[in-house]
Amino acid sequence: METTRTDRFKTAILLIAATGLIAGLVFYFSGRPEAANLIWIAGVVPALAALVVEILRSLRSGEVGLDIVAALSMSAALVFGETLAAAVVAVMYSGGTFLEAFAEGRARREMHDLLSRVPRTATRHRNGGLEEIPLDHIAPGDRLLIRQGDVVPVDGTVASETAFVDTSALTGESLPVRLAHGAEAMSGSTNAGEAFDLTATKEAKDSTYAGIVRLVEEAQASKAPMSRLADRWSLGFLAVTVSIAFAAWWFTGDPIRAVAVLVVATPCPLILAVPVALVAGLSRAAHFGVLIKGAGPLETMARIRTLILDKTGTLTDGRPQIVSIDSHDGMAEDDILRLAAALDQASKHPVAQAIVAAAKARGFTLPVPSDVAEIPGEGVVGHVEGRKVIVGGDAFVASRVGRRPGDHSAIAAGSVLVAVAVDGRMAGHLVMSDPLRDGAGAMLDGLRREGIARILLATGDRADVAERVTEGLGLDGLRAGLTPDQKVLLVLSERKRGPVMMVGDGVNDAPALAAADVGVAMGARGAAASAEAADVVLLVDRIDRLGPGIEIARGARRIAVESVVAGIGLSVMGMIAAAFGYLTPVQGALLQEVIDVAVILNALRALRIAPHEPTTPKPKAVSSGQDDIAQGATP
């Protein structure tokens, strides 16, 4: 509301100044110059008064900007009778602030799209009917109807057979995604297919999209170090402007030359170029699923020299996947997996849930287990379709069926071995491992091309497992067996070499993310603590989005610097020309606007930054270790 009121006020000031300029020109060319002067003054005074109020407000908060130059130029033009020049400056300055609002509006369009998609209500199944309820009334476990075209209001799981959702507004993925029964659906995505039911798993305020909205609002309210640096530069530019104007008047005795110098001194390269370019970069990064919490982190991203990666859930997928199924009693592999998954439905252990997900992915219908007993850290015992099933670590299951654990030394380091027994006999083993993320190698190569000098792996896993994961990736260092405190120390030591970026996804990564110059969280399914501590959140669960994010950050910063250098250079050249009498005040004001428009249009080029899209080679399975919570794993 406040922003809308401010925009309307700026528009009104522009209309008054423009009307005064045009009406004055009509009277001037009609042979009535005295009336024209009065009309021009009437058009200038409101713009000058509004500008003075803005300057006083800035001075009260301790900020000194280049608005003072515009106020001096209008005041000097009025004092020395250059009313037409004053009217032109008033139109140009009020037009510049209007153009600033328009440019920032365009620059924030992707972020505005995120905010505008927030749903207000949801449709809930209740007592055999449907009811429309506010988002705040949704509770975990509620069954919601998501109609075609609806935005998913809260995080949940698909309760229907299938669902097709469009996540492009969140992740930049252009094609709809097919979700099977039980799959997680991210709030903020759009139903691109038939209506489906969703079982809420979180309240609206705790859902992914609510967190994204909070992050966007924080980003919009931020101010970059480069913008603060521009504020300091503005003092120097103000001093140079006043010095040239005074010198032109002193040495020539002509105050009109001083007026011409003041009106040609454009503040826009410093006032507008930096924020417009950086906000455009924020918006562009959001389009690719990289949510940067403000212009400050964006600018820091552009200067990153060292990258530290966590392993589990970051460089690797973080979810164990079945590599092989070994049958020991003639039972079919599909039957081993189906019975194990049916029993593991009663467990919330990550490995158990991975087995259930693997079975559902193969289209198995899982019966409900009975008489279930879970032994924490060991395994699960129960009945499935009248058969006694035991699932867990090899030693645990072997002891339950009266046999010795087998020799599994040939299994790769860090693999998770899950034994399955049926009706008192060892049925087989599920061998699981944590796969390297798609495109991890290509992503690292791309980051090196973007200027990242050092790439390190920091993990709490064993050294042999970490070495297996990083084989062939060409990392500059590997630090294994680290506690969260030791990860922080690694970040602090690497900061001595230059700005450091840390990427992680778990609660244990939050301290290191906070300690880094730029912390990046895998926000699609990462821990809330890491997302809160991070400066950047990857909305799509793909590590290869880092490359486009850094490329956009560097492009936006480069465009901001180019705009400032070109704009200030042209302004200084114009001031010198005015000081030597080659530009009149009116010509200087027109030149000012040409420079302003050119600078803003150049800054908006950040909206068209086209980063190289990462390739996604076929993933390979790699080992996992103590970072994974293994259900009775036997390395």
DSSP characters over 32-62? -HHHHHHHHHHHHHHHHHHHHHHHHHHHHTT
Q: Are residues 455 and 360 in the same domain?
A: no
**Who's near 475: CB < 8 A, 6+ residues apart?**
444, 455, 456, 457
At 564 the three-state DSSP class reads: helix
Q: What is the pLDDT of residue 607?
A: 83
Q: Give residue-wise pLDDT tens across range 288-324.
A: 888 887 778 888 899 899 999 887 767 777 667 787 8
DSSP code at position 311: I
Domain tally for the chain? 3
**pLDDT grade for 629, boundaries at 50, 70 and 90:** very low
Give the C-alpha separation, 134 to 202, whole Å: 15
Q: What is the pLDDT of residue 221?
A: 55
| Residue 3 dihedral angles phi and psi, to the nearest 5° | -65, -40
Give the C-alpha separation, 127 to 471, whole Å: 57
Q: Give residue-wise pLDDT tens across range 535-548.
A: 888 877 777 788 88
363 in Cβ contact with 342 (< 8 Å): no
The closest of 87, 94, 95 to 22, measured between CA atoms, is 87
pTM tops 0.75: no
β-strands 121-126, 129-134 pairing: antiparallel
Q: Give residue-wise pLDDT tens across range 27-57.
A: 989 989 899 999 999 999 998 898 888 878 8
Domain boundary among the residues 526, 553, 580 is at 553
Select the highest-mean-pLDDT range: 51-55, 464-468, 481-485: 51-55
Q: What is the torsional sign of CA 58, 63, 67, 68?
A: positive
Residue 268 included in any domain: no
135 in Cβ contact with 153 (< 8 Å): yes
Q: Which helix (H) or strand (E) holds 288?
A: none
Q: Are residues 540 and 442 in the same domain?
A: yes
The closest of 299, 115, 303 to 223, measured between CA atoms, is 299
Residue 48 included in any domain: no
**pLDDT grade for 533, boundaries at 50, 70 and 90:** low
Residue 388 included in any domain: yes
Residue 517 included in any domain: yes
DSSP code at position 151: B
Q: Are residues 371 and 426 in the same domain?
A: yes
Q: What is the pLDDT of residue 559?
A: 92
| CATH number, residue 156 | 2.70.150.10
* Average model confidence (pLDDT) across the chain: 79
pLDDT higher than threshold 50 for residue 630: no
Q: Are residues 381 and 361 in the same domain?
A: yes
Q: Which residue has the tokens 């950050």?
A: 553
Residue 343 included in any domain: yes
**pLDDT grade for 206, boundaries at 50, 70 and 90:** confident
pLDDT higher than threshold 50 for residue 595: yes
The closest of 520, 517, 501, 426 to 456, measured between CA atoms, is 501
Which whole-number Å values give the CA distances from 287 to 225, 284, 536, in the listed order? 23, 5, 14
Q: Are residues 299 and 332 in the same domain?
A: no
The closest of 6, 5, 92, 7 to 48, measured between CA atoms, is 92
539 in Cβ contact with 291 (< 8 Å): yes
Give the C-alpha separation, 285 to 107, whole Å: 11
Q: Are residues 294 and 375 in the same domain?
A: no
434 in Cβ contact with 318 (< 8 Å): yes
Domain boundary among the residues 553, 580, 614 is at 553
Give the C-alpha separation, 460 to 458, whole Å: 7
Biggest CA pair distance of the chain: 114
Q: Which helix (H) or strand (E) holds 548?
A: helix 546-579
Q: Are residues 310 and 447 in the same domain?
A: yes
The closest of 283, 262, 224, 268 to 97, measured between CA atoms, is 268
For 272, the token pair is 């507008």
Residue 528 included in any domain: yes
Residue 313 included in any domain: yes
Which whole-number Å values give the CA distances from 603 to 103, 597, 598, in the listed order? 9, 10, 9
Q: Which helix (H) or strand (E) holds 627?
A: none
287 in Cβ contact with 172 (< 8 Å): yes
**pLDDT grade for 531, boundaries at 50, 70 and 90:** low
DSSP code at position 547: H
Residue 9 included in any domain: no
| pLDDT above 90 coverage of the chain, percent | 13
Q: Are residues 303 and 451 in the same domain?
A: yes
Q: Are residues 421 and 394 in the same domain?
A: yes
Give the C-alpha separation, 183 to 158, whole Å: 6
Q: Are residues 353 and 485 in the same domain?
A: no
Given 310, 344, 509, 535, the catalytic residue = 310
pLDDT higher than threshold 80 for residue 525: no
What integer is the mean pLDDT of 245-266?
A: 87
Q: How many residues does the chain have?
A: 635
Q: Are residues 429 and 446 in the same domain?
A: no
Give the C-alpha separation, 336 to 326, whole Å: 9
pLDDT higher than threshold 80 for residue 618: no
**pLDDT grade for 216, boundaries at 50, 70 and 90:** low
Query: Amino acid identity of 171?
Result: T
434 carries an active-site annotation: no
For 463, the token pair is 């050294």
Give the C-alpha separation, 381 to 346, whole Å: 10
| Residue 347 dihedral angles phi and psi, to the nearest 5° | -115, 145
- Domain extent at residue 172: 139-202
Domain boundary among the residues 433, 451, 473 is at 433
DSSP3 helix / strand / coil % (the chain, rounded to 5): 50, 20, 30
pLDDT higher than threshold 70 for residue 114: no
Q: What is the pLDDT of residue 42?
A: 92
DSSP code at position 526: S
269 in Cβ contact with 564 (< 8 Å): yes
Q: Are residues 461 and 504 in the same domain?
A: yes
| CATH number, residue 506 | 3.40.50.1000
- Within 10 Å of residue 29's Cβ, how many Cβ atoms? 10
Q: What is the pLDDT of residue 26?
A: 92
The closest of 377, 382, 394 to 342, measured between CA atoms, is 382
The closest of 167, 59, 69, 67 to 113, measured between CA atoms, is 167
